[in-house]
Chains A and B, each alone.
Chain A
Amino acid sequence: MMKTLQVLCDSFPYLLGGAGVTAAAVTGAMLLGLLIGVNLAVVQVYCGAWPRRLVGLYVWFFRGVPILVLLFLFYFGLFSVLGINLSTFVAVILVLGMTSGAYQSQIYRGAIQSLPQGQLKAARALGMSDRRAILSIILPQALRLSIPGFSNEYSILLKDSALAYALGTPEIMARTHFVASRTYEHLPLYLMAALLYFALTWIGVKLLRKLEEKVRIPGYSLN
Chain B
Amino acid sequence: MTDQTMVLRVENISKRLGGRQILKDVSLELHRGELKVLIGPSGGGKSTLLQCINFLIPPDEGRIWLGEQQIEIHRKQDLYAYRQKVGMIFQDFNLFDHLNALDNVSIALRKVKKIARKDAEERAMRELERVGLGDKTTLYPSQLSGGQKQRVSIARALAMDPEALLLDEPTSALDPELIGEVLGVIRNLAQDGMTMIMATHQLGFIRTLADDILFMQDGQIIEQGSPAELLDAENGSRTQAFCAKLNELSDESET
Contact = CB atoms under 8 A, between A and B. Distances in A.
Contact of A122 (B90, B143, B160): B90
B94 A126 contact: no
A129 B83 contact: no
B15 to A, nearest CB: 16
B142 A121 contact: no
B111 A218 contact: no
A219 B142 contact: yes
Contacts of B80: 127-129
Contacts of B94: 116, 118-119, 121-122
A218 B108 contact: no
Interface string B92-136: 111111100000000110011000000000000000000000000
A96 B93 CA distance: 42
Nearest to A143: B98
B173 to A, nearest CB: 11
Interface string A37-80: 00000000000000000000000000000000000000000000
A118 B92 contact: yes
B90 A121 contact: yes
Contacts of B87: 125-126
Contacts of A218: 139-140, 142-143
B14 interface: no
Interface in A80-137: 116, 118-119, 121-129, 132, 136-137
B148 interface: no
A221 B90 CA distance: 23
A219 B140 contact: yes
A124 B83 contact: yes
B54 A217 contact: no
A122 B84 contact: no
Contacts of A126: 83-84, 87, 108, 112, 156-157, 160
Given A118-B92, A128-B108, A217 B83 contact: no
B132 to A, nearest CB: 20
B116 to A, nearest CB: 16
Contacts of B75: none
Contact of B56 (A124, A129, A137, A221): A124
Interface of B: 51, 54, 56, 76, 80-84, 87-88, 90, 92-98, 107-108, 111-112, 139-140, 142-143, 153, 156-157, 160
21 contacts: A116-B94, A118-B93, A119-B94, A119-B97, A122-B90, A122-B94, A124-B56, A126-B112, A126-B156, A127-B83, A127-B108, A128-B108, A128-B111, A128-B112, A129-B80, A132-B111, A137-B98, A217-B98, A217-B142, A218-B140, A219-B142
